Amino acid sequence: MVAQNAPTLDSAPETDAGGGPAAKLPPEGGFDDEGLRSTTATSDASPTKPVDESKMNLTSKALRPFVIISTSYLLFTVTDGAIRMIVLLHAYSKSFSALEVAVMFTLYELAGVFTNLLAGMAGARWGIKCTLISGLTLQLFSYGLLFAWDDGWDKSTSIVFVTVAQMFAGIAKDLTKLGGKTVTKLVTPEEQETRLFRLVSLITGWKNSLKGVGYFLGSALLSVSYFTALSVMMGLVALAMPWAIFGLDGSLGTAKKKNAGWKEIFVLDNRNLNVLSLARLFLFASRDFWFEVPLPFFLRSPGCDGLGTDMCASDADCSRGAVCGLEEGYCTNGNAGGGCGGLGIDRVVVGAFLGGYIILYGQVQSWTPQLVTGPLGQTPPNKLTEVLWGMLNCLPTLIMYFVMTFGSAFANYDLPGMTGWLISTIVFFAIIFAVNSSIHSFLVVNYAKTDKLAKSVGFYYMSNAMGRLMGTIGSGVLFTYVGDYVSDTAGYDNTAGMAACFLAGTVSSLLAAVITSWIDDDKGGLQCGPCVCRKPVEAEEEDDDDDDDDEVADEEEKGVEAPVTMT
């Protein structure tokens, strides 16, 4: 909604987010915590005035771009989650290793590094409508290219082709995400930080939940056929196109005073945003070191026992996840490059497993202000809030590293015990990571300068993409090569590789928390429910002033002249 002094990025004269004149509310008016127009003035104000219908129409018009961009962004997100599972699981069935699949996603993530920089500049210059339509178009192009993936190609050709196709999907994701992230501030007044936090958390949380739906749909449709999965996802992208083309103002999101240039793109004058961006790099690496590639490979890979030694007549004679080599007559690993030692579950279940994590993560993120930071007195959050939750983010992966390295469940290949530990760890990580991500999403929009919003957010999410790239490549190397080599038919024992990925994620979480502590944002202090972990700066200053006044009074009572303080 539009409120008094609501931020707009259009060129003068001021307009609202839909392109019309900006609505001006009376000084005593405003919005309550839920973002609704307040009908009660301050205690010394005049009685309630009749509502101006023209202003109500302007408010509805201002919400139109938010609805269109958010809906397009959410539809796109389903296809973004699906394309990762389609490519990864299809590649696994074709015997690609974890490192080879990680390479396939290299340009997807690397494109995000540069796209976020350029998208920020493009958004400031040409507006959010341009970047949104470009993103949707490139997503269609990427899916179209994947139709040409031929099973008869050798591995090198397949890796190069899929990597290039994924590059366009990576560009599309970050062009589309720019609009989804920046439109929240365009409809939120500067002073409504609590409302902004709730709005950012809601859109970001639902985005991630729908990405989880995409993970499941991609794996489920892949069980029907590879081409069916691609076709359905292209249809979802096509649904969002008409609304973006015909429903948005071309000037939405453009810079107010001056178009962004190459010299300004790094926003080096905004120290808090720069430090937060570096912390974001390690925060998202902490997840992608074990989640995106290693976890699905571990879930799919069979146990090592019996591979190459147990005789069989069909797959039913082999352990879960193993296949019967009909020519050899022995149980074997369908993808020796993926290693052994995992749970050996079906790919539809893998998609549901990963999708469930992302849906839980997204829903917790949506309700973080109401269920977590609100009751703890941490809304709106500051850097101290993020440092606290960043340190907590280290615990699940650190525990999992020790369990996989020294625990009896993994040493004895106890499938129920292994499954229980993985589910517990992933659930707790999803909850804690969701709170971290929600706080980050608020802080970047809050720290960004309003007239450089698209550019600032673009720089921040460039760091996000760099962290994902680092985690993806690092995980492929660790998962593939850490662990003992079992045999040609089994590959490496990937339990040790999975544990190494969890340890790398722990180190990244710790670095993210330490770097966040460098941000200059201590004013709000830190509260944990009824406990005050750190007083706000203003309260500390007032306490100091009270102590000084007491000292002066004591000195005067004793007849001693109080010292003069120069300010």
Handedness of CA 538, 541, 547, 552 (dihedral sign): negative
Q: Return the residue matching tokens 């290299």.
A: 106
Kindly give the interhelix angle for 347-366 and 415-447, rounded to the nearest 10 degrees: 40
State residue 38's pLDDT score: 34
pLDDT (mean) for 228-236: 95
438 CB-side CA count, 13 A: 36
Average pLDDT over residues 270-281: 88
pLDDT band per the 50, 70, 90 thresholds, residue 98: very high
Terminal CA-CA length for the chain: 43
Higher pLDDT pick, 55 / 224: 224
Residue 178 pLDDT > 90: no
Determine the pLDDT at residue 244. 76
CA atoms of 352 and 533, how far apart (whole Å): 39
Measured between alpha carbons, how far is 403 from 401 in angstroms, rounded to an integer? 6
Residue 527 has pLDDT above 70, yes or no: yes
Q: Is the pLDDT of residue 520 over 90?
A: no
Q: Taking 90 as the threshold, does the pLDDT of residue 227 lie above it?
A: yes
Question: For residue 536, is the peptide bond before it cis, meaning its omega torsion is within 30 degrees of 0?
Answer: no
Q: Is the pLDDT of residue 202 over 80?
A: no
Of the listed ranges 251-265, 362-376, 440-454, the least confidently predicted one is 251-265
CB-based burial, 353-377: b 16+ in 10 Å, e otherwise: bbbbbbbbbbbbbbbbbeebbbebb
Residue closest to 311 by CA, chosen among 333, 329, 323, 325? 329
pLDDT at residue 32 greater than cutoff 60? no
Domain ranges of the chain: 57-301+339-521, 304-338, 528-554
Do 307 and 331 form a contact (C-beta atoms < 8 A)? yes
Which CATH superfamily groups domain 57-301+339-521?
MFS general substrate transporter like domains (1.20.1250.20)
More confident position, 444 or 482: 482
Higher pLDDT residue, 7 or 313? 313
DSSP letter at 8?
Answer: -
Q: For position 49, what pLDDT does the model report?
A: 47
Q: Note the pTM of the prediction, 2 decimals.
A: 0.77
3-state class (DSSP) for residue 384? helix
Give residue 233's identity as a one-letter amino acid code: M
Single-letter residue type at 313: A
Return d(Cα 303, Cα 415) in angstroms, integer.
9
492 has which bridge partners? 485
Q: What is the pLDDT of residue 433?
A: 94
Predicted confidence band at 409 (pLDDT cuts at 50, 70, 90)? very high
What is the predicted pLDDT for the residue at 550? 54
Residue type, 22: A
Half-sphere exposure of 445 (CA within 13 A, CB side): 33
Whole-number pLDDT of residue 246: 80
Across the chain, what does the average pLDDT equal?
A: 78
Q: What is the per-residue pLDDT for 401?
A: 97
- Of 359, 234, 253, 296, the closest CA to residue 7 belongs to 253
Adjacent-strand bridge partners of 528: 531
pLDDT at 100: 95
pLDDT of residue 510: 97
pLDDT band for position 533 (cuts 50, 70, 90): confident
Q: What angle do CA 458, 464, 467 make, to 5 degrees?
A: 145
CB within 8 A of 160, min separation 6: which ones? none
Number of CB atoms found within 10 A of residue 194's CB: 16
Summarize pLDDT for 323-365 with one digit per residue, the tens: 998 777 899 998 988 899 999 999 999 999 999 999 898 888 7
Query: Is residue 532 predicted with pLDDT exceeding 80?
Result: no
**Of 313-317, 451-455, 481-485, where does mean pLDDT reach its minimum?**
451-455
Highest mean pLDDT, choosing among 5-19, 196-210, 252-266, 531-545: 196-210
Residue 138: predicted pLDDT: 94
pLDDT tier at 225 (50, 70, 90 boundaries)?
Answer: very high
**Quick one: pLDDT band at residue 272, thresholds 50, 70, 90?**
confident
Strands 330-332 and 323-325, bridge-based pairing = antiparallel
The predicted model gives 81-92 an average pLDDT of: 95
Q: What is the DSSP letter of 369?
A: I
**The pair of three-digit structure tokens given for residue 103, joined into one six-digit string:** 């390479």
Residue 499 has pLDDT above 90, yes or no: yes
Cα 476 from Cα 458, distance rounded (Å): 27
Q: Say yes or no to pLDDT of 472 above 90.
A: yes
pLDDT of residue 419: 95
| CA 229 to mean position of chain CA atoms | 24
The b-or-e profile of 30-48 (16+ CB within 10 A means b, else e) is bbeeebeeeeebeeeeeee
CA distance 206 to 362: 6
Give the SS3 label for residue 538.
Answer: helix
Going by pLDDT thresholds of 50, 70 and 90, the confidence category of residue 27 is: very low
Among 28-42, 142-156, 189-203, 268-282, whose mean pLDDT is lowest? 28-42
